[in-house]
Structure 1
Amino acid sequence: MLWEQKVKNHFPDSHAEIHLGTILNNLRTIHKRAGTEKVFAVVKCDAYRHGAVRVSRHIEDAADWFGVASVDEGIQLRMGGLKKPILVFNVPGYDTAAAYHTHNLTATVSHKTHFDTLMDGTRYQLNFDTGMGRFGFMPEDAADVRQLAVMNQRLSCSGIYSHYATADDPGSDFVRKQYERFSNITELFKEIPLRHMSNTGAVANYDIGHFNMVRTGVGMLGYNSGEKRYDWLKPALTWKTRIVQIRKIKKETPVSYSSTWKAPQEGYLATIPVGYGDGIPRSLSNKLKVWIDGELYPQVGNVTMDNIMVFLGEKQLPAETEVTLLGGEGWNAHDWAEKAGTNVHEILTNITGRVEKIYGES
């Protein structure tokens, strides 16, 4: 496989191999399972640290829309050459109103004041809060919102959307309630072409309708958004580094800050040049396992900012031996999230700019 390197660091201590073809396949799989007319790729937070511009370019022909959190993220995609429509999820303000128009970004209107905020000719989509409790008009205000939209013909409405709060895992009755609320709302907006609510979790975990466009972010990167795992989603990122030092330690030797771990026997300790400054949660201290030379080995002691230590037992390996931290044959983001008490989104977005990105087309 040929790998393309992005923004080369002079001396990176670790790198993430990102398989663009895997992302494209995941996107197509989710689109097919949803059975919707269109598919919406969520690439906020630098595509969950996979590289928003590079990922978006690769999947642009297969995606109908892109979604970002902020105007700055939308501008980044435009500057990177993206031509497809881009929806900004966050609230528009007077300071960003011109940017929507200049960079051909679609705004989210989730409060009546937003109609006055946006410039003439701006495209927008309506957001309704059917149970997420974050942004959006309330369902009981749908008729009034429709009237506001009719009164503001100087703006162009292309869609209406909502967001599931509990679709990450199967078995939630609230998903059905939200679905029914949104279905009722859309009856008042039949002339609006796009209606979307389902994310990866809704497609993976629920047999419900998905309106005419499905959104996916973490799903196209290879993960269900909740705890349940599906083998039809393939993780696209593998994070690798190397051993920088090996030394022999005696039984009962303490390791790292606060001496939370002591060697159970005499053996070899490997030092790895990554830590929470690179994206390994400190909450994984004494819980993480990494893949080295065909085996999983325990990370020991508290995770430090720049290093972790791994106990190899009686196995002595040379410095520069490759270490797989995340993905590949080692633990994936589900494993990390389970041990860290968080979700895969946080695991992926925690990966910092110190980690080099290398792209493969397949």
Structure 2
Amino acid sequence: MSRPTRAIIDLTALRHNYELAQQLTGGGLAMPIVKANAYGHGAILVASQLDTMAPAFGVACIEEAMELRAAGINSPILLLEGFFSEDELQLAAQHNFWLMVQNRNQLAALATVKPATPLTVWLKLDTGMHRLGFDPAQAARLHAELQSMPAVADNIVIATHFACADDLDNTFTDQQIAQFQRHTQALNTLSSLANSPALLGWPQARSDWNRPGFMLYGQSPFSHDHPLASRLKPVMTFRSEVMALREIVAGDSVGYANSWTAQRNSRIATVPVGYGDGYPRHAANSTPVLINGQRARLVGRVSMDLITVDVTDLGPVAIGDEVILWGKDLSANEVASYADTIGYEILTRLHNRVPRVIATSQAPVPS
């Protein structure tokens, strides 16, 4: 027997979420975003499952793309951050990596490189996020400049990224869409605007290429209920088991720094999971977990390898009983809220020492 802490990956749910994303494109294409180890779910596992369904994948950088190629993933892969040095351009041509171009240095490199085959390029416009990309007013000139380069293939895509799409009451997304359309509508080129919240909540942002990420893994990008987000199915169940039980009396403390003190005689379960596995260290006392399907609350500080849970009111609890840290009936978003963070972070921080296990076979898979 091994340490029972593991992430159960439901591939049926993954396929369901991708199919929903594709339906929402309205005839466009849905590119699964598998950066950051597929948001903690296992990039190789996720891409292998979607490789015959998806037209391409998106990752942050060439290192993530090379990992997928080494695992036999053959679909085109977009480098969302583009390239950082000219030597990456030959690799991009060799392995069919697509490049997001967002600064003048990248343009200059493309103007002089002579790759074995022309490179597929996405042109990034900054419509208000103010991290990466060119002034939208330069779109026509930059598009023409790229078209003139022998190193660049004809299928240029113009893209942008939204700052506030997860807030459906914020009109800034409408402003970004309007600015993008104003400067690109006269160009004969493909476009890409929608990330997960835009694909779900901003129909006017859906276009030729759409970039679902967080939603693929069954998580809502919104802070409130949304009819389309409610159709998503969580892909990961992060689970463990009770490894120890003890009775304490009122006045006893639990964990480092005596940060929680029992106000009554209590029963405490110890669970082998901690921040070394990616469970959020700053999860507060009262963070929910499920033990035998019942809600219990975290007490004491999260340590590297262990947490402690008050099970006084749960009825019979035994060593070996199942503990769900997050999953179908306890969302990663809810757990994250107790740690003053977001579901995106706690999923992507899941450590590689946690085995990813396919739900149907329970067989360990690559992470």
TM-score by length of 2: 0.90
RMSD of aligned Cα (Å): 1.8
Secondary structure of 1:219's counterpart equals: helix
- Is 1:112 paired with 2:104? yes
The CA deviation at 1:343 is: 1.7
2: CA distance, partners of 1:203 / 1:122: 27
User: Does structure 2 conserve the Cα–Cα contact (< 8 Å) formed by 1:245 and 1:319?
Assistant: yes
- Pair 1:66 & 2:51 matched: no
Residue 146 of structure 1: CA displacement? Answer: 2.4
Aligned to 1:4: none
Partner of 1:15: 6
Counterpart pick for 2:32 among 41, 59, 84: 41
Write the distance in 1 (CA, Å) between the matches of 2:86 and 2:266.
62
C-alpha distance in structure 2 between counterparts of 1:140 and 1:238, whole Å: 45
1:326: which partner in 2?
326
d(CA) in 2 for partners of 1:157, 1:336: 46
For 2:54 and 2:259, locate their aligned partners in 1 and report how far apart those are by CA, in whole Å.
48
The answer (yes or no) to whether the contact 1:195–1:212 under 8 Å persists in 2 is yes
Residue matched to 1:213: 209
Distance 2:356 2:9 in 1: 7
Paired position in structure 1 for 2:143: 146
Whether the 8 Å contact between 1:221 and 1:235 is mirrored in structure 2 is: yes
Q: 2: distance between equivalents of 1:60 and 1:228?
A: 32
How far apart are 1:225 and its partner, in Å?
1.8
Quick one: percent identity of the two aligned structures? 30
Describe the SS at the equivalent of 1:283. coil
Match of 2:20 in 1: 29
1:228 deviation in Å? 2.6
Q: Does 1:101 align with 2:101?
A: no
SS in 2 for 1:335: helix
8 Å CA contact 2:199–2:205 kept in 1: the answer is no
Richer in strand (by share): 1
State the partner residue of 1:168.
Answer: 166
Please list, as runs of the form range in 1=range in 2, the aligned pairs for 1:115-126 lying within 5 A after superposition: 115-118=107-110, 119-120=113-114, 121-126=118-123
Unmatched 5+ stretches in structure 2: 362-367
State which of 119, 133, 143 in structure 1 corresponds to 2:130: 133
Deviations 1:92-111 (A, max 9, x none): 12242222122221111112
Task: Give the TM-score taking structure 1 as reference length.
Answer: 0.92
Decide whether the 8 Å contact of 1:169 with 1:226 is kept in 2.
yes
Deviations 1:169-198 (A, max 9, x none): 2111111111111112322431x3x31111
Aligned to 2:365: none
1:38-59, Cα deviation, whole Å (9 max, x unpaired): 1111000110011111111111
> What's the CA shift string for 1:186-241, capped at 9, x where partnerless?
22431x3x311111101222242412122101111111223134311111110110
Which consecutive unaligned segments of at least 5 residues does structure 1 have? Answer: 1-9
Aligned residues: 350
Q: Contact conserved, 2:336 with 2:346, CA < 8 A, in 1?
A: yes
Partner in structure 2 of residue 225 of structure 1: 221
Match of 2:335 in 1: 336
Asked whether the equivalents of residues 257 and 302 of structure 1 are also in contact (C-alpha less than 8 Å), the reply is yes
1:218, 1:225 within 8 Å by CA — same for their partners in 2? yes
CA distance in 2, matches of 1:50, 1:157: 34
1-side partners of 2:203 and 2:95: how far apart? Answer: 38
Residue in structure 1 matched with residue 317 of structure 2 by the alignment: 317
Query: CA separation in 2, counterparts of 1:318 and 1:150?
Result: 67
| Mean CA deviation greater in 106-115 or 236-245 | 106-115
Q: Which moved more, 1:304-313 or 1:59-68?
A: 59-68
Secondary structure of residue in 1 paired with 2:31: strand
Change (3 A) 1:157 1:284: farther
More relative contact order, 1 or 2 (CA 8 Å, 6+ apart): 1
CA distance in 2, matches of 1:185, 1:34: 22
1:22 is displaced (CA, Å) by: 0.6
Query: Displacement of 1:161 after TM fit?
Result: 0.9
Paired position in structure 2 for 1:360:
359
